[in-house]
Chain A
Amino acid sequence: MNISGNDLILACSAIGAGLAVIAGIGPGIGQGIAAGYAASAVGRNPGAKSDITSTMLLGQAVAETTGLYGLLVAILLLFVKPLTW
């Protein structure tokens, strides 16, 4: 079997893309913690539900950014293929 350098880089890019989306673990945990605290806050003060929800969504969306950077790296490796020639 004959594997050219380009093929090797393509395969390694796919592995790298898989590794890059492991970055999704962090935001997952963070968003879960935020949602848990928001749920307990609603339990304590049901009147402020809409405020709590919007604050939670804002915080979660900001926390999501790091995971999205990982996703972006994966997308670049898979579809733009910057390392191949």
Chain B
Amino acid sequence: MSNAILMASGADIDIMVHGLISYEIFGQTCWITTTHVCLLILMIVLIGFMIAANRKIKKASEVPDGFQNVVELIVEMLDNMVKGVMGVNSAKFANYISTVFIFILMSNISGIMGLRPPTADYGVTFALGVMTFCLIHFNKFKHQHVSGVLKGLCDPWPIWAPINIISDLAVPVSLSLRLFANILSGTIIMALVYGLLGWIATFWPSVLHVYFDLFSGAIQTYVFCMLTMTYINQAIDSE
């Protein structure tokens, strides 16, 4: 990658996803990229945490202590968040939303640990957006049946159907682009700070990390989950 900024500074600014290993499948060359590696590390951490939490909760004590406290706090907080938005429908979706919440939060703040955040790759966030899209439409067909969906599609008049379809398709795109662009902008700004300032950038960029990784990442996670829940709720009970 040779571009204007790089040529001006001479430092190596690394914001791109790099391919590590290539393989051929059905005549297409595919790559194992840095995103895959970061995701794999993240998966191992999360699965380790999950197994530890499962072991701990299986033999839970009456008075929670230490690790059990943490696990109960996380689960209760996420349950309350889902219940606050979805109300009576929360029981079915609490698991999915909590999983997505923890996954996105961990990927967003993994920039602190020196990884390239996996959510700064459009492939990851688009998959999350498509999952939300599928959930919305599955629940729409389940709860409003085909007639209800068709009626919703031809909302004021049937001639508006193409516009309604476009606005339905815009949901996953805008959801995923919002998350992607926020995390990517944080990654780029941190890379610029480290790459261009050199030795000046010691110690004080931790403040920027707090904002771009922790704060921005947490807000975007919250927003993604909130919007997913709101859309699903709309699909379920818009009689």
Give the B-binding residues of A (Cβ under 8 A): 10, 14, 54, 57-58, 61-62, 64-65, 68-69, 71-72, 75, 78-79, 81
Contacts and interface: CB of A to CB of B under 8 A. Distances in A.
A41 to B, nearest CB: 18
A78 B178 contact: no
B177 A65 contact: yes
B138 to A, nearest CB: 24
B219 A71 contact: no
Dominant secondary structure of chain A at its interface with chain B: helix
A10 B222 CA distance: 38
Given A57-B219, A57-B223, A68 B3 contact: no
Given A61-B220, A62-B223, A79 B1 contact: yes
- Overall SS of chain B's interface: helix
Contacts of A54: 222
Nearest to A79: B3
B177 A72 contact: yes
B95 interface: no
Interface in B194-239: 219-220, 222-223, 226-227
Given A68-B177, A68-B178, A68-B185, A78 B220 contact: no
Contacts of A81: 3
Contact of A61 (B1, B15, B16, B223): B223
B16 A68 contact: no
B181 A72 contact: yes
B4 interface: yes
Contacts of A69: 177, 181
B9 interface: no
Contacts of A78: 3-5
28 contacts: A57-B219, A58-B222, A58-B223, A58-B226, A58-B227, A61-B219, A61-B223, A62-B178, A62-B223, A64-B178, A65-B177, A65-B178, A68-B178, A68-B181, A68-B182, A69-B177, A69-B181, A71-B181, A71-B185, A72-B181, A75-B184, A75-B185, A75-B188, A78-B4, A78-B5, A79-B1, A79-B15, A81-B3
B33 to A, nearest CB: 16
A83 to B, nearest CB: 13
Contact of B4 (A10, A68, A75): A10
